[in-house]
A and B are shown apart, each in its own frame.
Chain A
């Protein structure tokens, strides 16, 4: 896949979304360069997942424009939407695996339903995806029989099996332990480089995102208030970015203080 970093694959302009008068997005704009891994950061409830779901039409935005590969994804343009869906994958926060299908059937499903591959080719490609994510030994297990981390990897296998150009990750590390969190980010970065897809990761795991991403964006009060490379984010003196970074540092020191308190109280006779 030819990668031209200067050319944006996805352009979002002025996205608006509200629920019963509660404004979640109020003009969010983001450019995603082709071949890059872009992390969208923000506090819990900032609207990060809503932003992603508006991109893939799971939620209908109230306003704004989305362009994919230069083409406008209008509400009535079914052909452009179908092309976008064919070339894009979405990894849900809840994984959204089909609980009545085995791991292999889950991964095969998008190939079975959207391509003209033979049954043999579908199985081969699905097994290859499972192997890449170290799940081939669990091919006949159902999602409920897999651990949380395995389910996440299975969802990723399903997302990449169609070899998409754009993969959107909604909180891929939610609910994982720190080691797994690191492993998932490494995995995303590794496959993103290996397969050359463009990735948008919505997360609040700032340290991992800063290491793994080519670019980061900060969503605050319904708008993208920072967009740039991780080094600029770390060095930024912008008030909102500063406050966001501070809140993480404060959280870390509060946790350390609680731990110190626990240690001293347990040391008391």
Chain B
């Protein structure tokens, strides 16, 4: 029993170290990499523009539900006027960065892990190395840098559209005065909350894009599966671990801010 626990612990520590080195190597390789801006823009497009519809849809429904639930709960205490406060703080502090990150993992992260896995399988990554091109600089670093920029922007979009959803629920559907809702939003949200939101989103971006890249890039190391199965297994692992890491990191960061 002790041996099993020890072996698993060693494996986790080794994997964490390997992941940290992977991220460090990618950022180091980015320094001096030729035409990296072009690749960052392309990665930003994949994580940004392509994911806007899902962010808009999920953000809108999150705001609608928050507005609906919040209104009925606050109504019991005669405090409907605080609906804007509840919706805005829930979105800015927690739901915006977390749900936006989860959506981005589902759409851009899974695609990234699968793409890198296939590139590994078809020797495209080995071909880069034989050409003297750093695969970390060419394939991983632009995605990581784009993730640091795009995740906060997507979180901001999610929060904005969520606030609109809350207003639709509270004001349009349930009859709360629109001015009451928006003035509560303005009073509740402080620059500290916005900072927390952006910081969380950037950390989630680094961790999730890093994890998806790591698993796709190392799909060939999978000892249980080879070929297409290895790609699907690494993609699944990347998505599951990314979702867990988002929630765990959210707790850690929140505990520093509260």
Chain A positions within 8 Å of B, measured between CB atoms, are 56-58, 82, 85-86, 88-90, 92, 94, 96-100, 109-110, 112-114, 162
Contact present for A85 and B132 (CB under 8 Å):
yes
Contact present for A96 and B35 (CB under 8 Å):
no
Point out which of B34, B35, B130, B133 has the most chain A C-beta atoms below 10 A from its C-beta.
B130
Chain B residues contacting A109 (CB-CB under 8 Å) are 131, 133
**B24 an interface residue at 8 Å Cβ cutoff?**
no
Query: Which of these binds chain A: B118-126, B145-153, B154-162, B249-257?
Result: B118-126
Contact present for A98 and B129 (CB under 8 Å):
no
Contact present for B124 and A96 (CB under 8 Å):
yes
Q: How far is the CB of A201 from chain B (nearest CB, A)?
A: 16
Chain B positions within 8 Å of A, measured between CB atoms, are 33-35, 115, 119, 122-124, 126-127, 129-133, 138
Contact present for B126 and A85 (CB under 8 Å):
no
Contact present for B129 and A58 (CB under 8 Å):
yes
Q: In the complex the two chains form, what is the Cα distance from A254 to B35 in whole Å?
A: 56
Contact present for A110 and B131 (CB under 8 Å):
yes
Chain A residues contacting B33 (CB-CB under 8 Å) are 113
| Cross-interface CB contact of A114 among B122, B124, B132, cutoff 8 Å | B132
Q: How far is the CB of A136 from chain B (nearest CB, A)?
A: 22
- In the complex with contacts A112-B34, A113-B34, A113-B35, A85-B131 CB distance below 8 A: yes
Chain B residues contacting A114 (CB-CB under 8 Å) are 34, 131-133
Contact present for A90 and B34 (CB under 8 Å):
no
Contact present for A94 and B34 (CB under 8 Å):
no
| Cross-interface CB contact of B122 among A57, A82, A86, A99, cutoff 8 Å | A99
Chain A residues contacting B124 (CB-CB under 8 Å) are 96-99
| Cross-interface CB contact of A90 among B127, B133, B138, cutoff 8 Å | B127
A-B pairs with beta carbons under 8 Å apart, 12 shown? A56-B130, A57-B129, A85-B131, A90-B130, A92-B126, A96-B124, A98-B127, A112-B35, A113-B34, A113-B133, A114-B131, A162-B131
